[in-house]
Amino acid sequence: MNIQIHPEIQKELEYMIELYQQHGCPAGRDSVESLISYILASIADGSRRPGSWERSLLEMLGLVADCGEHYQYRSQYGKEGA
């Protein structure tokens, strides 16, 4: 998978890393790649875990499908039985 990031967004993410390194952060990361990986893992966790803080993130972003299946807890990533 190859993800392209708009240069302005990348500048902001790099600045966030700089702030973490200078001032600390509870979930701070040491690279843009690590930060993006953490964010994507949180989104994936929110998709499979209704009621989690990560799900709240998906709800605020409008990324919860309007179907009962997306409101069921799944212990593993991906489609059940796949």
Quickly state the pLDDT bin for 15 (edges 50, 70, 90): very high
pLDDT of residue 75: 94
pLDDT of residue 45: 97
Q: How far is CA 67 from CA 17, 29, 57, 59, 75, in A?
A: 37, 34, 18, 13, 18
Measured in whole angstroms, how far is the alpha carbon of residue 40 from the centre of its chain?
3
The encoded tokens of residue 74 equal 């799944």
Grade residue 1 by pLDDT with cuts at 50, 70 and 90: confident
Listed residue (48, 82, 81, 76) closest to 64, CA to CA: 48
Tens-digit pLDDT profile for residues 18-67 = 999 999 999 989 999 999 999 999 999 999 999 999 999 999 999 999 99
Tokens of 77: 């990533």
Residue whose structure tokens are 């799900």: 55
